Amino acid sequence: MGLRLGDIAPNFSAKTTKGEIVFHDWKKDSWAILFSHPEDFTPVCTTELGAVARLQEEWDKRGIKTIGLSCNTVESHQSWIADINETQNTNVQFPIIEDFDRKIATLYDMLDYQDATNVDKKGLPLTVRSVFILDPKNVIRLTFTYPASCGRNFDEVLRVIDALQLSEKKKVVTPVNWKGTQDEVIIHTAVSNDEAEKLFPGYRTVKPYLRFTKV
């Protein structure tokens, strides 16, 4: 059975571009994003990792640690980082995991089983574009899986982290196309009207189950 929302993210030891880590010890009590890319020195992956690197200040503001993974060696990652920095006008600071034996990719069900072209020179499957968002207790809170042919939108990853963290702090949930705290949110249905008036004075009721407020 694959990993589900609410599961504890499996722990592992790995070599990375920042040295050897034990995953849970590395992330400690932080939120974290574990994401895979198919292969080093490939065009879509280069743009993706550049985007993650350029968002470093935004991750830091939210207490997020980011870590990448592919089926390449640390030496390959290190060489490729120079290309990423050059072509994407950035400075990659986050670690990238070496997983050429595919143990972690298998543990997290990241390997590609549908794209016959997403394989290495030996014909072994490479990883898809997986994203796991983990909370400080190592609980899997959100996952994405994109095919190798489709680059991810890391602005969307940032948006959903904002939504998750907001729901942790306030008794609210986020509506469709919510873009940030400038937009209204929905008061959680477990909150009574009396409590809602104390927490969110002047909230707006559309239906008894649909109450909007700003936070």
Active site residues: 45
The phi-psi region of residue 177 (left if phi > 0; otherwise alpha if psi is between -120 and 50; otherwise beta) is left
Contact of 37 with 70, CB cutoff 8 Å: yes
Query: How many residues in total does the chain contain?
Result: 215
How far apart are the C-alpha atoms of 50 and 88, rounded to whole Å?
5
Residue with tokens 């595919």: 102
Contact of 55 with 28, CB cutoff 8 Å: no
How far apart are the C-alpha atoms of 15 and 20, rounded to whole Å?
4
How far apart are the C-alpha atoms of 135 and 29, rounded to whole Å?
8
- Start-to-end CA distance of the chain, whole Å, equals 38
Contact of 83 with 45, CB cutoff 8 Å: no
Phi then psi dihedrals of residue 123, to 5 deg: 85, 10
Residue with tokens 């014909």: 123
Q: What is the Rg, in whole angstroms, of the alpha carbon atoms belonging to the chain? A: 19
